[in-house]
Amino acid sequence: MHTTPKRMSRLVTALALSCAAALVAATTATPAVATAAAAGTPVATAVADPTVPTLNDWDCRPSAAHPTPVIVVHGTMGDSVSLLENLEAALLDGGYCVFALDYGNRGTGPIEDSAAELSTYVDRVLAATHAKKVSFVGHSQGGMMPRYYLKYLGGQDKVDDLVGLAPSNHGTYHWLLLGIAGIVCPACAQQGAGSPFITDLNWGDETPGDVSYTNVITQYDEVVVPANSGYLSGFPDQVSNLKIQSYCPFTVVEHIGIPGDQTAIAMALDALSHPGPAQAWRSYPCS
């Protein structure tokens, strides 16, 4: 694929913003909070009203209306909060028990190891909430990596929905992620289109188990290239592949913006609210 200087500049900017957001979150945390987060320990925060729902509330019990806890999974070079605040707030406001983990050295480590961390986290959430299953809403690598957990680590019986926002399901052809970033980021190299990891992940059934898969993309994605490599093959009652601009033609949102996009969040909420994936025939709000 030919990359013009303009497209290269915009991609570099997107990656820089993603890294900057993650670094700001890390450097502004107090030492105690940073240490606890790195260890995967729930961080106690001062809350004026204990009835207000909070992220990673290990005392949360799912309601009859929303019996499945939701785990938000960040992308490469991300963390459990940066870029995801609007999404997590919408899920909490929707009445879900919402959890988010930090994994894989900001998602840069080998994806197989990150999936193993996710497996441990799922079991912890299920034990704490007494729920039968969890659902995932993941951004970028966070929408793809859980598929390794589903395919190889016994997750199929523990997951209801997997919602990917700009997921790297079939990798990317962009040279920057495959070249420069791949040197210090094993997960970046693994997300190259045609890599051994991506080839193995998509071999055979792309959507295994009794899991509903929703993939939301934006045509302006400059990290996952082409954007429709986020789509998965499967039957319509199990898989929905949705492009934001098919519903909101004038919405311009790129890779790092999609987790906070009103339309993408509405699609995720729809997927979680009923059996099966998000409904492609629905109209969704536009940003």
What is the pLDDT tens value at each position of the chain, 287 positions in all?
A: 334 444 444 444 444 444 443 433 333 333 333 334 444 545 444 444 556 789 999 999 999 999 999 999 999 999 999 999 999 999 999 999 999 999 999 999 999 999 999 999 999 999 999 999 999 999 999 999 999 999 999 999 999 999 999 999 999 997 666 666 667 899 999 999 999 999 999 999 999 999 999 999 999 999 999 999 999 999 999 999 999 999 999 999 999 999 999 999 999 999 999 999 999 999 999 98
Considering the domain boundaries, does residue 243 fall inside one?
A: yes
* Amino acid in position 80: S
Q: Count structural domains, the chain.
A: 1
Q: Look up the domain containing 114 and give its range.
A: 5-38+53-273
**Per-residue b/e over 91-118, b at no fewer than 16 CB within 10 Å?**
bbebebbbbbbbbbebbbbebbebbbbb
Task: Copy the structure tokens of residue 96.
Answer: 């879900």
CA distance 282 to 145: 28
CA distance 175 to 179: 6
CA distance 249 to 245: 4
Q: What confidence score (pLDDT) does residue 269 get?
A: 98
Considering the domain boundaries, does residue 194 fall inside one?
A: yes
What predicted TM-score, i.e. pTM, was given to this entire model? 0.83
CA distance 201 to 182: 19
Considering the domain boundaries, does residue 181 fall inside one?
A: yes
161 bridge partner residues: 212
Q: What is the CATH number of the domain that holds 109?
A: 3.40.50.1820
Considering the domain boundaries, does residue 48 fall inside one?
A: no
